[in-house]
Amino acid sequence: MPKYPWRFYSPLRTHDFDDGVAVKGREPGQLFVCRNCGRRFKYDAETHVTWAVGKGRNFSALDRAVSLRWITEQCAGGPSGADEDDSKRLKSRVA
């Protein structure tokens, strides 16, 4: 996997990221945090899937609508007023 996968994968080119951090658990992948706006994303190199995650330590996936919006929006250069509320809208789990 390239050191900076977002340079080659368009959904990750919308923000300015540091190196990703490998995360294990129910949804493994690499965690990326935008240096400017603070939005957090996980990227699975095997499936090439990116999704937005909340601020908690378990990196829970955010609601699909929030994730799609965050991935497609260009970085605002700083935190958005709605980001705090968005980061609490966790993805519903189907048991």
Contacts of 91 (CB under 8 A, 6+ apart): 60, 61, 62, 63, 64, 67
Q: What average pLDDT does the segment 75-87 reach?
A: 84
- pLDDT band of residue 8 (cuts 50, 70, 90) is low
Share the mean pLDDT of the chain: 78
* pTM tops 0.85, yes or no: no
Predicted confidence (pLDDT) at residue 2 exceeds the cutoff of 50: no
